[in-house]
């Protein structure tokens, strides 16, 4: 899963919002767990 995201980022130089949208799309497809999404949101807030 991460490799796909990395290749997408390499192909397209997105902004931060684009990256977040991509991650949200991948997560919504693979893991519909709300606690996991919450943790990821806080994790991304720490990065940006």
Q: Is 20:48 a contact under the CB 8 Å cutoff?
A: no
DSSP 3-state of 21: helix
CA atoms of 34 and 48, how far apart (whole Å): 21
Query: For the chain, how many structural domains are there in total?
Result: 1
CA atoms of 35 and 11, how far apart (whole Å): 30
Predicted confidence at residue 24, as pLDDT, reads: 75
Query: pLDDT tens-digit profile of 1-48?
Result: 577 776 766 666 557 777 777 777 776 665 555 666 667 777 777 765
Does the predicted TM-score (pTM) go above 0.75?
A: no
Q: 28 lies in which domain range?
A: 2-47
Predicted confidence at residue 39, as pLDDT, reads: 72
Predicted confidence at residue 11, as pLDDT, reads: 64
Predicted confidence at residue 27, as pLDDT, reads: 66
């Amino acid at each position: 899963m991460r490799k796909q995201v990395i290749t997408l980022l390499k192909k397209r130089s997105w902004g931060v919002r684009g990256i977040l949208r991509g991650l949200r799309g991948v997560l919504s497809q693979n893991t519909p767990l709300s606690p996991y999404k919450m943790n990821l949101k806080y994790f991304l807030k720490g990065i940006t």
